Amino acid sequence: MTAAEVILSVSGVTCRYGTPGETAPVLEDIDLVIRQNDFIGLIGPNGGGKTTLLKLLLGLIRPERGTVEVLGRAPREVSRLIGYVPQTAQIDQHAPATVRDVVLTGRLGLTPRGFRYGREHLAPVDRAMEEADVRAFADRRIGELSGGQRQRVLIARALASDVRILLLDEPMAGVDLHMEAGILDTLRRLNETMPIVLVSHDISFVSEHVKRVACLNRRLVVHEAAEISRDVIACMYGGHDVFHQVGHTGDCPISPESEAEPEPEAES
């Protein structure tokens, strides 16, 4: 495996909710290539298409036009190789479940026994807990953990099926600075073996810690993280829409001239 190996590719993708010709596309002519060593931050305004793009990468919806491939195949065909950490996960803190129990649920779909796991599942779960730095409290109840620790458990759960790429939606939401630093260290370590796509509204965090920044507002343009200067980040907090303060090139879709329509919910 080389750093240049393509893990995920999006080519000429357009996606909309509703009838073509009657509704505007949520995503329009999107191209994106994610390689083995990539650490990409995905930013953009509310309604700009971030949720829709994540659904496409996960294989939950199909594009109107264009292709999405993970390891050369449709996302639905290799879904167990795509790790996903949602922004909010419903974990009952009063449930009598341990950290190991929660991480084991990441193996669902890999066993014909439903919720009965064989011994062959224990080693991958232990490895996932080690990678997410939660093995030390594997036998503790999930309700005993802090918010940052639970977020690590969700990362471990996403890793439990031996994934090849990790997608995270606002992983730092509700996490204090100390825990945020620890989670970031974990993600950097994981990035040594797999590409990571991180959705965030915190542009300063994204531009400081990722390698590339994907700006999405119906259209998508990818920048090197260094292209977002500290001066530009500072001016974002002057009381205006932070996404419209990024002074990128004229074709950047989150410039002040680009306004997104509200992103509709996917039909169930």
Domain assignment present for residue 243? The answer is: yes
Rounded to an integer, the average pLDDT of 105-129 is 76
- At residue 245, the pLDDT reads 40
* β pairing state of 82-85 and 165-169: parallel
Mean pLDDT estimate for the chain: 82
Domain assignment present for residue 100? The answer is: yes
Lowest mean pLDDT among 27-31, 47-51, 193-197: 47-51
The verdict on 12 and 134 lying in the same domain is: no
The verdict on 157 and 209 lying in the same domain is: no
Rounded to an integer, the average pLDDT of 251-261 is 57
Domain assignment present for residue 79? The answer is: no
The verdict on 53 and 135 lying in the same domain is: no
The verdict on 131 and 221 lying in the same domain is: no
Task: Name which residue leads in pLDDT, 241 or 70.
Answer: 70
Whether residue 23 is predicted with pLDDT greater than 90 in this model: the reply is no
Token duo for residue 227: 């292209």
Query: What does the alpha-carbon distance between residue 110 and residue 95 come to, in Å, rounded to a whole number?
Result: 24
Query: What are the pLDDT digits (tens) for 153-206?
Result: 999 999 998 899 999 998 887 777 777 888 888 999 999 999 999 998 777 667
Whether residue 120 is predicted with pLDDT greater than 80 in this model: the reply is no
Domain assignment present for residue 183? The answer is: no
Starting at the edge strand found earlier in the chain, the sheet holding 196-199 runs 82-85, 165-169, 196-199, 39-43, 212-217, 219-224
Query: What are the pLDDT digits (tens) for 52-62?
Result: 999 999 999 99
Rounded to an integer, the average pLDDT of 19-48 is 90
Instruction: Give the residue numbers spanning the domain of 226.
Output: 1-71+164-176+192-268
The verdict on 110 and 213 lying in the same domain is: no
Domain assignment present for residue 81? The answer is: no
Evaluate whether 232 touches 245 at the Cβ level (below 8 Å). yes
For residue 24, the domain's CATH number is 3.40.50.300
Domain assignment present for residue 145? The answer is: yes
- At residue 118, the pLDDT reads 65
The verdict on 172 and 249 lying in the same domain is: yes
224 - beta bridge partners?
212
How many domains does one find in the chain? 2
- At residue 87, the pLDDT reads 79
Whether residue 238 is predicted with pLDDT greater than 50 in this model: the reply is no
Query: What does the alpha-carbon distance between residue 137 and residue 156 come to, in Å, rounded to a whole number?
Result: 12
Domain assignment present for residue 186? The answer is: no
The verdict on 168 and 246 lying in the same domain is: yes
- At residue 234, the pLDDT reads 45
- At residue 68, the pLDDT reads 97
The verdict on 168 and 42 lying in the same domain is: yes
Whether residue 268 is predicted with pLDDT greater than 50 in this model: the reply is no
Would you state the torsion angle of the CA atoms of residues 53, 56, 61, 62, taken in this order, to the nearest 10 degrees? 110
The verdict on 43 and 103 lying in the same domain is: no
The verdict on 200 and 220 lying in the same domain is: yes
The verdict on 168 and 248 lying in the same domain is: yes
The verdict on 171 and 244 lying in the same domain is: yes
- At residue 228, the pLDDT reads 64
